[in-house]
Each structure stands twice: as structure tokens, then as C-alpha cells.
Amino acid sequence: MSEEVPVLVLSGITKTFGNVIANNAVTLEVRRGEIVGLLGENGAGKTTLMNVLFGLYRADEGTILVEGKQIHVTSTADAISLGIGMVQQHSHAVERHTVLDNLLLGLPGSNGLLDKTSALQRLKEIGDAYGLRLDPARPVHTLAVGERQRLDIIRALFRRARVLILDEPTSVLTPQEVEGLFSALRALKADGVGIIFISHKLNEVRAITDRVVVMRRGEVVAGVDNDDTVTNLSLATMMCGHEPERVVRVPHQIGDPRLVARGIELDSHGSQSPLPINLTIHSGEILGIAGVSGNGQVALAEAIAGVKLPRHGSVSIDGVSIDNPSPAVMQKAGLAFIPEDRIGAGFVGPMALKDNMVLSRFSDAPFSRKGWINWKNILDFANMQIAEYDIRPPDPRMPVGLMSGGNQQKAIVARELAFEPRVLIIAQPTRGLDVSAIAFVHRSLMRLRDSGCAIMLISDDLDEIFQLSDRVAVMYENSVVWETPIETATVSTVGLAMNGSLPTQDAAA
Amino acid sequence: MRLVARTRKTSRVREAMLPVAAVLASLVICGLLILIAGANPISAFGIMVSAAFGGKFALTETLARSAPLILAGLAALVALRTRFWNIGGEGQILAGAMASAWIGALPNLPAPLLIPCMIVGAALAGAALAALPATLKLKLGVDEVVSTLMLNFIVMYVMMALLSGPWKDPLTGWTDSPDILPAAEFPTFWRGTRLHLGVLIAFGAVVVIGVMLSRTTFGLSMKIVGENPKAAKHAGLNVARVTLFAALVSGALAGLAGAGEVGGTQFQVIASISSGYGYAGIVVAMLARLSPAGVIPAALFLAALTTGADEMSRQTSVPFFIADAMQGISLIAVLVAMTLSRYEIKFDSFERASRS
Amino acid sequence: MNIIDIGFFAAAVRLAIPLLLGTLSELTSERSGTLNLGIEGMMLAGALAGFSTAAATGSLWLGVLAAIATGAAIGAIMAVLVLILRLDQTVTGLGVSMTATGLVFYSYRLAFTETGTPPSITPFSTIAIPYLSEIPFLGPVFFNQYALTYIAYLMVPALAFFLYRTPAGLALRSVGENPQAAAAAGVNPIRVRFLALLFAGALAGLAGAYLNLAAFGSFTFGIVAGRGWICLALVVLGRWNPFACAAAALLFGAVDAFQLRLQTSGSVDLPYQLFLALPYAATLVAMIFNGRRTAGPAALMQPYDAERR
């Protein structure tokens, strides 16, 4: 092999946020026409590293070389002009503007004017070359998630990116869309574009990449060529630092129906209007809700928890139907809801931990009487929870926003479990957590299940669903399309259902 | 240069020192302004201090002037804590003033009822005026910054139209409303001073609001809604009700400021009955760092500025308007100080590091 | 006396121009995502800078330049406060207006004491545009005005062209809608918003200068008298569109001229103050009708923090 100069070299990149080290002396190389998989658990520092490369964050230390020349990326404009393109996890486009305007944004134009003619020409070229097509006149807010991602890729190609970063690109796509993306990536690779493919999905990384770089806790821990020796297990072991622990579900007692949701109709999504959703979760049972993110899981959780009422539908708990559901009413009925966006919806970031521990309960005894708050009882309660769940730092006056993600999750789990819920809805319970925090959350959920709580577990992570659930329900376009005991489900049948095609008896068998 | 969020709790002492530092910074800037005017800043500030605090008359006058500022400051504080951007304090004060002047001149009302009715009427008028933008925000999503600001001018011009038309003082023919009845004048509780019932109400309101915010579930609800409405909703709070309640309390407090000026100081509505108290209230609330106890020193500071600047402009070449400038400068200074307590300014070292 | 005559319409245009300039100023900053409550102070500072420079140098155009520079300087201060330090736009804007007002009155009093007579300037005279000014009605109303008026006319299509046809205009509108998206496309949101505030300040300063260098010929404490706040309202009425904003400014220039005539004629028994309240009331009504389908920039009043996680 000739000693070709790599198209991109990152070396010694260090980035800290306050006292959290997100990247510690990270080194990464990408050659022309190479697809590098950047693998790691949530919070391993992959996204931070890419944001540094793209000029969104500034590194504390380190150098970046593009085609052998050292560069200083201080803004996204620098990165773009150096041929670096980025497709972020969540699309960043101006909703109200058209596809064309979003493509033109940031381009220099010709003679000081927006150059629509040549933009349309280029859009057609990209469509012909890579099969990436979009109607330039459509406003972005009418695009589906997959189409928005296509817009982001086209935008990077518009600027003739030589390095393309894709951050968890498949998490918003169905398997078919993933295949379409992969064929576009192969075409790009053939044209000599270097691609960084960030993911924590092992199968996809193995399917598309030439080389895999694994990050853990802000550091690069391994870099291997993607050949026959690489297996899911070997990659997972590198990601976690040890062979991943498989919690084996032990058979256990499942009781009477606790949460019964009947005829819940969510807003329409995509072409078809969604089917009414009927769900029953029994005492001591975990129902896993699987699905590609954005297929109504959040809406279903919010509908049952009374946060955002559905168009139709009713909910009952332990046989008592709830008449005017609202978050307060559902809490009174024994339902706890831990939303995905913990700091945004579960906590008040600038407020002290102790106040956050009673966020939904401070109006009740013993935390207040007749509208008068008993601060001492609140403090005692918070201290008790801090001790029991080992929340750090053990300071009840610490603003929650300054705590680590793992401790925030511990605190919210502690808070909701303290009131012994009969039903728990928990969304993405381990997203962004490190291994030990994940184990803690999983253990807590198991314990709660054993105590008879009915748990609805929403997760994008199929492994997590299979690890914990007794039954699995799959959501697609705001409907539940398939529901089955976990014993009769496989990753491939669930995957098919996530794609909207019902698994046949043959496939399920 | 960029801001980086601090990751550690800031100490309480440091927090308490922020407004002090801001006031000091604005004093330095004003010292420069006084120098430009050709006066000695030290002696000019000396004049201000003695005019504001030296002796019974000065002190009580400053206290009396602080009353509307305290109430307007509390009004702003309650609203801002709940993130209801009520900058309509000025209009709500005028509404309160008009309501109390109208009630105070009603000949058929029994004399002992006059003053209570004026107070309640003013509070209701202020609350009603705040209820409108709050309802528009909650029902229609109308931004309250612009709507409350617009209402200030609408109320002001309606008041001017009344004063030059139906309400014109029949005796003098000036654009003032008729005097309120003698029985409607707020009693003073210290003979020979202007310390009237309105001052007492203002200080009482500090205690009431302070207790409400720190000891009741209402206060905690308002804080939660203000800091994170989404989390408030998830926690089962009724965000709309809490916001409306905060708006009503805010408007009522501003209305009370109007009642105090009519009942205790002017005894009628004049065109300059408020002269910017509503906006000054925002300065007071920010200087107080949204804490009720802080409202008193903050209001006293602004009141002393005006009494002091009055005297300074008489004795030196320094124009009175220094008080207006200083009010704005101290507001900006305290905002900067608050930001610097939550963030630190970082200068980038990346280029240096990567060149090495 | 007949209140509505050709002179009335000419006066309406004359009074509409400062509103027009101020509205375009506010529109520019709001389209970039910054609510500029400092506009009232910027206009007042521009008025004093323009007046005192013109009085000192004898050159009206130097006065105009000084007003523009002063407005832009305050815009820069506002930009540092709300963009770099990320202070709250509402409270900071009020603070900037308060401070500017206080400083303007302070320095005016220092320069021209109460007892002395303030210097007088000879304001701009009108220029009749050949041919155009001879069109019946439209000629005397629109084309026998000050040079600054003609500049203001040109500003409307120029700003619209800039916003909708140039890359920089697209960047400005995008930053006001979604700064994260603009950053991802290589636009620096802070830089764009900074420049927008500089330009907004300059226009506001020009609006202030127009008031005393063209419309009134003198400086008084009440020269701006809330016109900055009206511009805030007119942007809402004009739904953030330059042409609609210009029409709104013209309409309320006419309302202003009408109430002035009412005041001076004294013959009609209509409280002129109610006409002064009209722009504010109309804005409130417009906001009610716009309702949730608000036409405003999506990221208005949202600070941009690149490293927010």
C-alpha cells in the first residue's frame, strides 16, 4: 500500500465541560474512500468529538490535520470550507424555509445574490449520482424524519465535503431507509469521500464500515479493521470494557391487570390514520415498547400519563377508570412517569435537589399542610433518598442541573419509586448513562417489578427491551402494530414490525 | 471570548455581594459623569446622601418615595419569578391610581369605607389590567412582552384623554382630576412627615409576598412554573392557573402603588402620577435579585437617587437627569453581575495549544 | 379649517418617515432573533447626536452621520450585552433605553443649560423631484419631501431585496428562525445578530436625526416621545415584512398628523389622546388575531449558546 496522506487526522483532542472530561487525548484517522465506524456507548464522547471537528465546540487541546495540513477549526464555517460535512443526530434545518433555501444557506452566492439556478442544477446532479432526491420547493416542516436526514446529507455534498460525519444516522430510519442510506454511502465512498459513521448499533457498523474505532469514557480504547474476526461480541466487549452482562430473566409471578388502556387514538403520523391502541399491563409485568424513535412512543406515554391527552381513549388503573386525566390525577391514581428528557421535563435544573425530590408531591402531607410548606420534612426526605440511592454529590442543596446524568437518573428513579407507584412509565431509562448506572437502573426496575408494579418500558434499544420485558409491543406510525410475549419474539421479528410489516406466523415461529 | 457555565454552586456570600458590586460599578460610572459636569464626585455624592438620609425630613421623604417603588418592584418580582414578562407595571399603576381617585371622590360612600374601597379598587383595577395579557398569552399564545408594553400606552393616553376631557378639574381647568374627599386621604402615621398608609402597605406587602414565596405551596409552584414550565406540567401543576395567579398578584401590587400615590401624596390623578415607577419596578426587582427582602434596599436606593439628585442639581452644576441615567446603568450592571455569577468568561486557548 | 387637505397628507408622510425608519430597524433586529427594546433610547440618542453635531459644525449631513454612528454604537453595546453575555433581551433592552434616555437628557442639560437659549439649526429643506412632484396629489404628497425621506423610501425595497434575494439576507432570516441550523450550515449566528443590531442601531439613530434635522428643526425632551415603542408595535402589525411595515408606518404617520391637527385646530371636540393610543390598540388587536399562528421569527428572544448541551 502506498503511504497515502489520510484525508483527516485528529490527534490528542481533549475537551472538558466543567469537571466532566468528554474527550481525553483522542486520536482518529480517516483515509480517502474509507468508512470508519466510531463506536461507543452513549456518553462515550463520540458526539463531542465530532462537534469539535465540526467547529461547534472548541477543544481544550489537540490538533486537526486535513490532507496533511494542520487546520484551526473555530467555527462551522471553517469546518465546511475545509471540506468537512456533518449530519447530526437530530436534523438542524430551518423549519419555515424551503429545501432550496436551506441548501442555499451559508453558500456565498454569485455576484452577491442567491444563486438558485446553479443550486437546482447541483441538486439534480447529486440526485443522479447518489440517488438522493428531494423536492426543492417543499418547506422543511413538511418533510418526514428520513427526508430531513437526506436534506442534511445533500447539504454536506453541496459543499463538496471530503469528510462526511454521520452521527447515529440510522436511529431515525426504518430498515429499508437504512439500506437506501447505505447504498448512497457506498457511492460516496467510491468517489473518495472519507466517512465517519457514528453508531452504537453493532450490526450496522459491521455491515458498512471498513474499520472500527471504539471509544469508552472519552477515550479511544480500540481500533480494528472490520474483517471476519470482528463479531458483535468482540465489539460489545470493547465498548463496555468487559464481556457484557446478560441479565437472564427469571420466570416470576404475573398478577392481575393493573393498567388498562382502551382505544387510545394518537394524532395521525404519515399517510395512514393510526389504529386505536389497546394495552394491558399486569401487576409484576414489564411491557417493552419497541419502535424506531418518533413513531408515537412519546405520545403514547404522555397520553397515558395525562400530559397530552389523545384524541380518544380511556385509561383505568386496578379496575378504576380515570375520568378527567391530567398529570396530577394520574399521580393520585398511582401512576409515575419518568420522561425521556429528564432535565427538561422531569426536573427544574436550577432548583435544589431537595425541592426537585418533591416536585409533584409538595402539596401533599407531610411536605405541606393547608398550603404551608414544611421545609424540614422535605429536607429529611431528600437526605433519606440521597442515602438510600447513593446520589452524588450527597448535597440536598445542589442544583440538579449541575449533577451528572447518572445521578440525575438515580434521583428521578428514587423520587418516583419512593411513592410506591402501582404503574410506572419509563422512557429511555438508560440513554446517556455509563455501565454502572445502567446496571443500577435495570436492577431498580426488576425490584419494582417484583414488588408488583406494572411497568411500561419505552426504549430504542432492542437489547434493553429483550433483557427486561415480559412482553413486547411494537409501535409504527403512532399505532401498536404487534404485541407478543417476549419468548415468541426475536430481534428480526420485532425489527420487521418496527418497519410496519407484520411478522407472519412463519417468521415468528 | 465566550461564556462558559460554572459547574459549581456559587457561595451565598458571593450571591449577596453581586448587587452591591453592581451598585458600586454604577456609582463609579456616575462619578465620571459628575466629573464631566465639572463637579467633585465625592462632595456631590455627599450632598446626595445627606439629602436622602440626613435628618428626619430627608429620611422620611426618601421612605415615602420608596413606597411606590417597593410595590412596583414586588409586582415585577412576582411576575418575573413566574417568567410572566409583565412590563405593564406602569399601566397597572395608572389603572390603580384612576380607580382609587374615582372611588375617593365618590360622595355617597360612607366615609370609613372610602379608604378600604380605594385600596381594594386599585388592586382590582391593576389585577384586571394584568389579567388581559395573561389570558391572551395562555389562551392565544400572544407574547406578553409586547402586549403589556402596548397596554401601558393605551392606559396612559386614555387617562390623558380623561384628564383633559370629562375628568378635567372644574376649579382650576388644569388637566388634573378632581381632588379626592378629605376622608379619603390616607392618614399619616408620623405627624409632619409624608409617611402615610401607603408606605405601611408597601412594607406590609414585602412581608406578605416574602412569606408567600418562601413558605407556601403557591410560592413554590410559581418558582417551578417560572424555571421550567414543562417540568411543572409533568409534575401535575396547573401551569395556566399558576401563571394567571402570578399575573393577578403582580397587577394588584402595581395597582396598590397607584392607590398610594393618589391617597397619600397627590390626592388626585395628575398626568405625571406615576412618572416611570412601573419601569423602575423592574430595576428594583432585578437589583433585589428577585428576592422580596432585597426589594426594600433596592427601592430605597432608587428613591434616594431621586431625592439626592434633586438636591444635587440645586447645589451643583450636575443636572437632575443623573438619577435617570444611574437607574438604567445600575440595572445593566446588576444583569451583568448576575450573568457573571452563573458563567465565567473564557478566552480561547485552542489556537495556542495546537500551535505548540 | 379643513383638517384633511393635501397639506395633511404631506404631513402624514413627513411624520411617517421616522416611524418607517424605526420600524425597518426593529424589523431587522427581530428578523435576526433580537427583540430590541433599546430602540427608544437609540432614536433619542440619534436625535441629540444629530442635532448637536449639526449645531456645532453647521453641517446637517455631518449631523446625520453622527446620529447613525451613535445609534450603531448603542446597537453594539446592546449586542455585547444580549449576544455575548446573553443577558435577557427584554430587561436589557429596557435598561439600554433607560440609560440612553438618562444620558441624553443629562448631556443636553449640561451642554445647553436651562437658562440659556438652545442653538437653533436650519433644518433640511424639501426638494421637489422634477416631473414626479408635478403628478396631481401624489406629487406634492410624496415627491416634495426631504432628501432623508427619499432615502427612507429607497430603504424599503432595498431591505426587502437584501432579506429575500441575498445570501446574507437568507442567513439573517435563518438565524432568527433557527440559529442552530444556521450554525450547522456554516453561518455564525452571533456575528449575524451582532451586525443586524449594529444596522438596527444605525437606522434608529437616523430615525432620531430625521426628527430634529428635518421634521421639527429643534431638540426637545419629548422629541421621540414613544415613537420607538410604536415601531415595536408596527413590526407586529406589518408581520415582519418590509412592505407591510412601510404601509403600517404610513397609516400611523397619518394618525399622528391627524391628532396634531386636532390639537391645533381645537375646533373639533375629539380627544386627540385617543388617536395617540391607536397604534398600540391596533397592535394589540392584530396580535389577538394572529394568535398562535404567530408570524414572528421562531427564535425571537432566544439567546444562542453554541455549547449548550
**Residue C76 grid cell:** 453594539
Q: Do A375 and A445 share a domain, yes or no?
A: no
Rounded average pLDDT over A371-397? 93
Nearest to C98 among B145, B322, B328 (CB): B328
What residues of chain C lie within 8 A of the CB of A95, using their CB? 177-178, 298
Under a CB-based contact definition with an 8 Å cutoff, are residues A62 and A140 in contact? no
**pLDDT for res B118:** 97
Three-state SS at A328: helix
pLDDT tens column, B255-309: 999 999 999 999 999 988 998 999 999 999 999 989 999 999 999 999 999 999 9
What residues of chain C lie within 8 A of the CB of B317, using their CB? 110
Q: Do C106 and B322 touch (CB under 8 A)?
A: yes
**Residue A345 grid cell:** 421535563
pLDDT tens column, B128-152: 999 999 999 999 888 899 899 999 9
Q: Do C280 and B153 touch (CB under 8 A)?
A: yes
B236: left (phi over 0), alpha (psi -120 to 50) or beta: left
Q: Confirm or reject contact between B12 and chain A (CB < 8 A).
A: no
Nearest to C171 among A80, A96, A105 (CB): A105
Residue ranges of A 34-73 with Cβ closer than 8 A to chain B = 58-64, 70, 72
Q: Do A326 and B6 touch (CB under 8 A)?
A: no
Under a CB-based contact definition with an 8 Å cutoff, are residues A332 and A278 in contact? no
Give the integer Cα–Cα distance in Å for B58 and A146. 71
Q: Do A210 and A261 share a domain, yes or no?
A: no
**Residue B210 grid cell:** 416574602
Q: Do A119 and A210 share a domain, yes or no?
A: yes
Q: Do C296 and B336 touch (CB under 8 A)?
A: no
Task: Indicate if the pLDDT at residue C5 is higher than 50.
Answer: yes
Task: Indicate if the pLDDT at residue A505 is higher than 60.
Answer: no
Q: Do A75 and C188 touch (CB under 8 A)?
A: yes
Run of H or E including C65 = helix C60-79
Under a CB-based contact definition with an 8 Å cutoff, are residues B226 and B250 in contact? no
- A: neighbours with 3+ CB pairs under 8 Å? B, C
**What ipTM did this prediction achieve?**
0.91
**Residue A162 belongs to what domain range?**
8-240
Q: Do A44 and A139 share a domain, yes or no?
A: yes
Give the integer Cα–Cα distance in Å for B250 and B281. 11
Query: From residue B259, how far is each of B194, C187, C244 by CA, in Å?
Result: 15, 52, 42
Residue A129 φ then ψ, to 5°: -75, -40
Rounded average pLDDT over A62-76? 88
Rounded average pLDDT over B83-105? 96
Under a CB-based contact definition with an 8 Å cutoff, are residues C12 and C4 in contact? no
Q: Do A105 and C185 touch (CB under 8 A)?
A: yes
Would A2 be classed as within a structural domain?
no
What residues of chain C lie within 8 A of the CB of A102, using their CB? 181, 185
Under a CB-based contact definition with an 8 Å cutoff, are residues B339 and B3 in contact? yes
Q: What is the DSSP letter of B196?
A: B
Nearest to C166 among A76, A92, A114 (CB): A114
Single residue among A369, A404, A420 that ends a domain in this structure = A420
Q: What residues form DSSP beta bridges with A225?
A: A211
Question: For chain B, what percent of residues have pLDDT higher than 90?
Answer: 73
Under a CB-based contact definition with an 8 Å cutoff, are residues B225 and A378 in contact? no
Q: Do A75 and A146 share a domain, yes or no?
A: yes
Number of domains in chain A: 3
CB contacts < 8 A (B, C): 149
Q: Do A45 and A172 share a domain, yes or no?
A: yes
Nearest to B351 among A72, A362, A395 (CB): A72
Q: What share of chain A is helix, strand, coil (3-state, %, to 5)?
A: 35, 25, 40
Mean pLDDT of all residues in chain A? 87
**pLDDT for res C262:** 81
Q: Do B350 and A72 touch (CB under 8 A)?
A: yes
What residues of chain C lie within 8 A of the CB of B319, using their CB? 105-106, 109-110
How many CB atoms neighbour CB B114 within 10 A? 22
Nearest to C102 among B85, B164, B325 (CB): B325
pLDDT tens column, B183-217: 999 999 887 888 999 999 999 999 999 999 999 99
**pLDDT for res A506:** 47
Give the integer Cα–Cα distance in Å for C279 and B17. 43
| Comparison of pLDDT for A93 and A270, the residue scoring more | A93
DSSP codes of every residue in A400-422: GGGS-HHHHHHHHHHHHHHT--S
Q: Confirm or reject contact between C184 and chain A (CB < 8 A).
A: yes
* Closest CA of chain B from C219, distance in Å: 16
* Closest CA of chain B from C95, distance in Å: 5
**pLDDT for res B2:** 66
Task: Indicate if the pLDDT at residue C199 is higher than 90.
Answer: yes
What residues of chain A lie within 8 A of the CB of B230, using their CB? 341, 344-345
Rounded average pLDDT over A139-159? 88
Question: For chain A, what percent of residues have pLDDT higher than 70?
Answer: 94
Under a CB-based contact definition with an 8 Å cutoff, are residues C96 and B283 in contact? no
Residue ranges of A 58-77 with Cβ closer than 8 A to chain C = 75-77
Q: Do A414 and A425 share a domain, yes or no?
A: no
Q: Do B149 and C232 touch (CB under 8 A)?
A: yes
What residues of chain B lie within 8 A of the CB of C82, using their CB? none
Q: Do C102 and B326 touch (CB under 8 A)?
A: yes
CA B306 to chain centre: 14
CB contacts < 8 A (A, C): 81
Q: To which residue does cell 437584501 refer?
A: C162
Residue ranges of C 178-217 with Cβ closer than 8 A to chain B = none
Sequence-ordered list of residues with C-beta below 8 angstroms from that of C200, at least 6 positions apart, any chain = C25, C26, C28, C29, C34, C36, C39, C42, C75
pLDDT tens column, A319-330: 999 988 999 999
How many CB atoms neighbour CB B108 within 10 A? 4
Cα–Cα nearest to B312, from B325, B331, B299: B325
Q: Do A500 and A386 share a domain, yes or no?
A: no
Q: Do C166 and A113 touch (CB under 8 A)?
A: yes
Under a CB-based contact definition with an 8 Å cutoff, are residues C113 and C51 in contact? no
| List of long-range contacts for C138-143, beta carbons under 8 Å, 24+ apart | C140/C6, C140/C10, C141/C6, C141/C9, C141/C10, C141/C12, C141/C13, C142/C13
Domain spans, chain B: 2-355
Q: Do A328 and B238 touch (CB under 8 A)?
A: yes
What residues of chain C lie within 8 A of the CB of A155, using their CB? 185
Nearest to C84 among B1, B147, B320 (CB): B1
DSSP codes of every residue in C191-251: HHHHHHHHHHHHHHHHHHHHIIIIISSS--TTSSTTHHHHHHHHHHHTTT-HHHHHHHHHH
Q: Do A76 and C165 touch (CB under 8 A)?
A: no
* Closest CA of chain A from C309, distance in Å: 9
Residue A199 φ then ψ, to 5°: -165, 165
Under a CB-based contact definition with an 8 Å cutoff, are residues A139 and A97 in contact? yes
Q: Which residues of A164-187 are buried (b: 16+ CB within 10 A; e: fewer)?
A: bbbbbbbbbbbbebbeebbebbee
Q: What is the DSSP letter of A45?
A: S
Residue range C6-290 in CATH 1.10.3470: yes
- Out of A112-126, A214-228, A259-273, A423-437, the most confident range is A112-126
Q: Confirm or reject contact between A285 and chain C (CB < 8 A).
A: no
What residues of chain C lie within 8 A of the CB of B156, using their CB? 277
Residue ranges of B 219-238 with Cβ closer than 8 A to chain A = 219-220, 223-224, 227-228, 230-238
Rounded average pLDDT over C111-125? 79
Residue ranges of B 112-141 with Cβ closer than 8 A to chain C = 136, 140-141
- B: neighbours with 3+ CB pairs under 8 Å? A, C
**pLDDT for res B355:** 32
Under a CB-based contact definition with an 8 Å cutoff, are residues A349 and A339 in contact? no
Would A1 be classed as within a structural domain?
no
Q: Do A348 and B227 touch (CB under 8 A)?
A: yes
Q: Do A295 and A217 share a domain, yes or no?
A: no
Rounded average pLDDT over A473-484? 92
Sequence-ordered list of residues with C-beta below 8 angstroms from that of B57, at least 6 positions apart, any chain = B193
Give the integer Cα–Cα distance in Å for A26 and A49. 8
- Out of A79-93, B266-280, C271-285, the most confident range is B266-280
Q: Confirm or reject contact between B154 and chain A (CB < 8 A).
A: no
Confidence band, pLDDT 50/70/90 cuts, at residue A278: very high
* Closest CA of chain C from B4, distance in Å: 8
Least confident of A11-25, C26-40, C153-167: A11-25
Residue to substitute from B332, B341, B350, interface C, most C β-carbons within 10 A: B332
Single residue among A178, A213, A240 that ends a domain in this structure = A240
What residues of chain A lie within 8 A of the CB of B9, using their CB? 395, 397-399, 402
**pLDDT for res A149:** 87
Q: Do A444 and A493 share a domain, yes or no?
A: yes
Question: For chain C, what percent of residues have pLDDT higher than 90?
Answer: 60
Would A339 be classed as within a structural domain?
no
**pLDDT for res C202:** 98
Confidence band, pLDDT 50/70/90 cuts, at residue A509: very low
Q: Do A415 and A426 share a domain, yes or no?
A: no
Q: Do A302 and A379 share a domain, yes or no?
A: no
**pLDDT for res C309:** 43
Q: Do A402 and B227 touch (CB under 8 A)?
A: no
Would A23 be classed as within a structural domain?
yes
Task: Indicate if the pLDDT at residue C219 is higher than 70.
Answer: yes
Domain spans, chain C: 6-290
Give the integer Cα–Cα distance in Å for B58 and B49. 9
**For C277, which residue in chain B has the nearest alpha carbon?**
B154
What residues of chain C lie within 8 A of the CB of A104, using their CB? 167, 170
pLDDT tens column, A35-51: 999 988 767 888 889 88
What residues of chain B lie within 8 A of the CB of A350, using their CB? 227
Under a CB-based contact definition with an 8 Å cutoff, are residues C14 and C253 in contact? yes
In residues, how long is chain B?
Answer: 356
- Rounded to two decimals, the pTM is 0.89
Confidence band, pLDDT 50/70/90 cuts, at residue A403: confident
Give the integer Cα–Cα distance in Å for B227 and B239. 12
CATH of domain B2-355: 1.10.3470
Single residue among A191, A222, A240 that ends a domain in this structure = A240
Q: Roughly how many angstroms between the first and final C-alpha of chain A, as a whole number?
A: 49
Strands (E), A351-506: 368-369, 372-373, 423-427, 454-458, 471-476, 479-485
Task: Indicate if the pLDDT at residue C293 is higher than 60.
Answer: no
Q: Do A348 and B220 touch (CB under 8 A)?
A: no
* Closest CA of chain B from C302, distance in Å: 13
